[in-house]
Amino acid sequence: MYLLELVGSDDDFALAEARAAAAPDADLVAPGLAVAPSLDLDRAADLAFTRYASRLVGRTDASVESAATLLDAANVGIEGTVAVRATDVRGSAGVDTQRAERELGGVLTDRGFSVDLDDPDFVLRAAFSDDACALGWLAVATDRDYDARKPTKRPFFQPGSMDPMLARALVNLAGARSGTRLLDPMCGTGGVLIEAGLVGARPLGNDAQEKMVRGARENLREYADDFAVWRGDATRLPLRADAVDAAVFDAPYGRQSKIETHGLRDLVGGALSEVERVTTGRCVLVADRDWRDEATAAGWTVESRFVRRVHRSLDRHVLVLE
């Protein structure tokens, strides 16, 4: 059994990403915490909205005393130096995490372990959330190097580019992984394609603007060896049926697009139909509105939908389509 410590405030979205990529049977047990009977450790390292994955020791109520009792009774099953890291998820448990680390460290030293705070062989994660506590031995700390890949630090930048952490979550939701081919039919500067390449997929991009095509290629050269980006119409893709395994795209936003409303509906609906034709697996669509009717008309089934607040006047709608 594994413990997952989720990132952000949208647990449903984080859990969906974890299930799609690494832990298909994960379930939420407290705000910001999930448990899973099985976990693909390699894929877990690629998750965006999971911070840590640990081998679960056990769960109890959110008190330091209960956590210490649980640890004292547990079959630890490790040899080497240890350290304890405690967290109060979103400040919901009101626990003194420094005291928790001291008390749990004391339990381990009483059982004969040596504490090494700088370079331990094993790290015990103590996650307190609401009225629950979960203990686990750290197995995976996920990549958090998103700041180095933020749009303004890439060779080619245009305003409105997607945050790389969200892009990573979307490619995971779509099922991108080593050996798969992921298409972005409106690739812009290539942010989604970069994250697809970093999880081992082959990125394939289409965009209507030659400037974006050149810029996406420039950006991808920094992160991927095997990719293809071309200029084309998203409603008439130059691909055979079932040519790709998954797709992700960020549809034009109505307020920012020069396309009038009827034309935007035709563009997104046509792109959804084309992506359905060329894709064997999932498509994840991001937009500033709900395109479920158009997705259904294009032959997709809506597996799930998320609405993520960007700011007061903009929500992102995320559709996971199958």
149-190 confidence digits (pLDDT tens): 999 999 999 998 999 999 999 999 999 999 999 999 999 999
φ, ψ dihedrals at 15, nearest 5°:
-65, -40
The per-residue pLDDT for 35 is 98
The per-residue pLDDT for 309 is 84
pLDDT band (50, 70, 90) for residue 109: very high
Which pTM does this prediction carry? Answer: 0.95
pLDDT tens digits, 214-243: 999 999 999 999 999 999 999 999 999 999
pLDDT tens digits, 268-283: 999 999 999 999 999 9
The β-bridge relationship of strands 283-287 and 314-321 is antiparallel
Beta bridge partners of 58: 135
pLDDT band (50, 70, 90) for residue 59: very high
With contact defined as beta carbons under 8 Å apart, do 276 and 314 qualify? Answer: no
CA 56 to chain centre: 21
Domains and CATH numbers, the chain: 2-141 (3.30.2130.30), 147-321 (3.40.50.150)
Query: Rounded to 10 degrees, what is the CA torsion of 86, 87, 88, 91?
Result: 140
Q: How many C-beta atoms surround the C-beta of residue 288 within 10 A?
A: 19
The per-residue pLDDT for 255 is 55
163/145 Cα distance (integer angstroms)? 12
Nearest to 248 by CA among 321, 299, 304: 321
Q: What is the mean pLDDT of residues 12-37?
A: 98
DSSP 279: B
Q: What is the mean pLDDT of residues 94-106?
A: 98
pLDDT over 90 at 88, yes or no: yes
φ, ψ dihedrals at 287, nearest 5°:
-160, 175
151/159 Cα distance (integer angstroms)? 8
CA 12 to chain centre: 12
The per-residue pLDDT for 310 is 80
290/228 Cα distance (integer angstroms)? 30
pLDDT tens digits, 179-194: 999 999 999 999 999 9
The per-residue pLDDT for 18 is 98
Q: What is the mean pLDDT of residues 110-124?
A: 96
pLDDT over 90 at 258, yes or no: no
Q: What is the mean pLDDT of residues 83-89?
A: 98
pLDDT tens digits, 294-318: 999 999 999 999 998 888 778 999 9
